[in-house]
Amino acid sequence: MASIKDVAAAAGVSVATVSRVLNAHPSVSADARARVLAAVETLGYRPNAVARSLRTDQTHTLGLVISDVMNPYFTELARSVEEEARALGYSVIIGNADERPDLQDHHVRNLLDRRIDGLLVSPTDGGSPLMLDAVRAGTPMVFVDRWIPGVDVPVVRADGQAAVRDLVAHLHGLGHRRVAIIAGPAATTTGSERVEAFRAALADYGIPLPDAYTGQGDFQAESGRRVMEGFLDLPEPPEAVFAADNLMALGALDAIRARGLRVPRDIALAAFDDIPWFVHTDPPVTAIAQPTGELGRAAVRALVDRIEGRTPKSVTLPARLVVRRSCGEPAPPFPSPTQSPSPVQRSTS
C-alpha cells in the first residue's frame, strides 16, 4: 500500500507538502497541489488513519457501548447515533454488552485502548471501577438511556413517568386491578425507575404492587418468559402485566401462548419500548414509545460538544403511550386519518 513517501516521490515534493495538500492547508502552490493530487490519484493513495491518529492524538471515532444490540430499541439507537456521528465527521464503533457487566467492561477497555475520542454508554450495571476510572480520567463521556447515579456525566434519556401514568390510567379504566410488572435489573436506572413510576402511578388509584406481582427480569426475552410463567402459576394471577422492555414482552407472549391463553381475554399485556412489529402482533401491543432517533442524535451532539471543548447539558425527552388492543380496549372501528397529539395517543392500527 502506497505511503505518503511514495506520493511525495511521485510528485517531486516533500512529505510535508503532501501532508499539507491532504489537509487542505492554505499555503501550497497551485502547481505543487496539482502534482500531489495527480500522484495520489495514480497511486490510489489513501492516508493511513492509524498513523494520523497516533500523531494527532485524535481518532475521530466515538465508542458506543450498548446493553443489547438484539433489542430493536438499541438497534435503532445505534443507527441514529451512527448517522448523526457521520454527519459530524465521526465514525462509531459499537460494543454490545449483551446485558453482561463483564462484556461491557471488555468493550469499554477495548474502546479506550483504541483511543476513541469519546464514549457513549448505556450502562448495564451500576458502574464498574473501570467505567468510573474512565470518567475520573476525563474521558469524554455521555450516558444514553440508562445512566449511573452520582457520576458527573451528561445523560440523554427519555422520561417515561407521564407515559406510565397514562398507561396505569388506561389499565384502570379497563377495570384491571391485579396488575403486575416484569422489571429490568434493579442495578440499571431504567430497571428501577420503571417499577417505581409504575408503583407510584398505581398508588394514585389505590392499587398495590405486591412482591408477588413484581417479577425480576434482565431485559432479555428468556427472563420475560420465566417471569410470566411464574405469574401464571400464581393462585391468583395478575389481570394485566407490564413488561419493562419489548424483549421481555416477547418472552411473556411466548409463555402466554404456550399455555394456550389469549391476550387480552385471559391476560392484558403492555410493554415499554414500541417497535414496528407491535402493530401486527396478535393482538397489537399497547406500548410506551421513546423518541429513539432523537435520543441518539442528541447524545452524539452532547458527546461531540464535550470532545470539542464545549459544555453539554443533559437532555430529557418525553416518552408517550401508544394504545393498541393488548390491554382489552377494542380498536377503533376505522383507522382515523390523523393521530391525536395528546399524551395518550391512539394508534391507528
Binding footprint of its own copies on the chain (CB under 8 A): 1, 44, 46-51, 53-54, 59, 69-70, 72, 75-76, 78-79, 82, 86, 91, 93-94, 96, 106, 109-110, 112-115, 133, 137, 221, 250, 253-254, 257-258, 276-277, 279-283, 335, 349
- Is 42 near DNA (CB under 7 A)? no
- Is 340 near DNA (CB under 7 A)? no
Cis (ω within 30 of 0) for the bond into 129? no
Q: Which residues contact 251 (CB under 8 A, 6 or more apart)?
A: 217, 220, 221, 222, 223, 224, 225, 226, 227, 228
Q: Which stretch binds DNA (CB under 7 A): 5-13, 100-108, 116-124, 310-318?
A: 5-13
- Is 307 near DNA (CB under 7 A)? no
Residue 56 binding result from DNA, its own copies, none, given CB thresholds of 5 to 8 Å by partner type? DNA
Of 34, 38, 41, 51, the residue at the interface with DNA (CB under 7 A) is: 51
Q: Least CB distance from residue 258 to its own copies, whole Å?
A: 7
As a whole number of angstroms, the distance between CA 168 and CA 7 comes to 67
Residue 205 binding result from DNA, its own copies, none, given CB thresholds of 5 to 8 Å by partner type? none
Residue 27 binding result from its own copies, DNA, none, given CB thresholds of 5 to 8 Å by partner type? DNA
As a whole number of angstroms, the distance between CA 56 and CA 166 comes to 51
String of DSSP letters for 245-270: SHHHHHHHHHHHHHTT--TTTT-EEE
Q: Least CB distance from residue 331 to its own copies, whole Å?
A: 11
As a whole number of angstroms, the distance between CA 270 and CA 197 comes to 15
- Is 110 near DNA (CB under 7 A)? no
DSSP assignment, residue 69?
T
97 neighbors 124 (Cβ within 8 angstroms) = yes
Residue 100 binding result from DNA, its own copies, none, given CB thresholds of 5 to 8 Å by partner type? none
Q: Least CB distance from residue 187 to its own copies, whole Å?
A: 23
> What single letter denotes the amino acid at residue 204?
D
**Nearest by Cα to 218 from 63, 70, 65, 64:** 70
As a whole number of angstroms, the distance between CA 308 and CA 37 comes to 30
Q: Least CB distance from residue 24 to its own copies, whole Å?
A: 17
- Is 26 near DNA (CB under 7 A)? yes
Q: Least CB distance from residue 63 to DNA, whole Å?
A: 18
Q: Which three cell numbers mark 74?
A: 438499541
DSSP assignment, residue 343?
S
Hey, which residues between 53 and 72 contact DNA (CB under 7 A)?
A: 54-57
- Is 23 near DNA (CB under 7 A)? yes
- Is 47 near DNA (CB under 7 A)? yes
Judged by CB, which is closer to its own copies: 188, or 220? Answer: 220
As a whole number of angstroms, the distance between CA 316 and CA 162 comes to 13
Judged by CB, which is closer to DNA: 114, or 262? Answer: 114
As a whole number of angstroms, the distance between CA 300 and CA 62 comes to 9
Instruction: Give 95's strand partners.
Output: 65
Of 24, 31, 44, 309, the residue at the interface with DNA (CB under 7 A) is: 31
As a whole number of angstroms, the distance between CA 168 and CA 312 comes to 34
**Nearest by Cα to 84 from 275, 293, 313:** 293
- For DNA, the binding residues (CB under 7 A) are 1, 3-5, 12-20, 22-23, 26-29, 31-33, 45-48, 51-52, 54-57
